[in-house]
Amino acid sequence: AQSVTQLGSHVSVSEGALVLLRCNYSSSVPPYLFWYVQYPNQGLQLLLKYTSAATLVKGINGFEAEFKKSETSFHLTKPSAHMSDAAEYFCAVSRSGGYNKLIFGAGTRLAVHP
């Protein structure tokens, strides 16, 4: 069975600091991995997706994530946080074959302070 663990339900950074949001997954088959962002009172917006084409995936708004098979990790980073990055971030896994079932982590709420 697939699962996703996001370490840290809340992360707080200063504006301009590095953002690092952690995601570990388990999957018995090569996974598809996603990061979504949810702003208050909104739905989920896709940040980036790993499809095995490249281990370093660049997304929108300056975010990127690196797939590390040996560590079963897909951590999300951004070099310099902006106030507008404050939101909740979800890591999700899906698998090839079968129906398109996204398994989500519990989410990490990012706070950015001046």
Partner 1 sequence: ETGVTQTPRHLVMGMTNKKSLKCEQHLGHNAMYWYKQSAKKPLELMFVYSLEERVENNSVPSRFSPECPNSSHLFLHLHTLQPEDSALYLCASSQDASGGETQYFGPGTRLLVL
List residues near partner 1 by CB under 8 A: 32, 34, 36, 41-46, 49, 51, 90, 92, 94-102, 104-107
Return the number of the residue (80 or 96) whose C-beta is nearest partner 1: 96
Cβ 80 to partner 1 shortest distance, Å: 27
Handedness of CA 108, 48, 77, 79 (dihedral sign): negative
Cβ 96 to partner 1 shortest distance, Å: 5
Cβ 104 to partner 1 shortest distance, Å: 4
Q: Which helix (H) or strand (E) holds 66?
A: strand 64-68
Q: How far is CA 83 from CA 17, 65, 66, 67, in A?
A: 11, 20, 23, 26
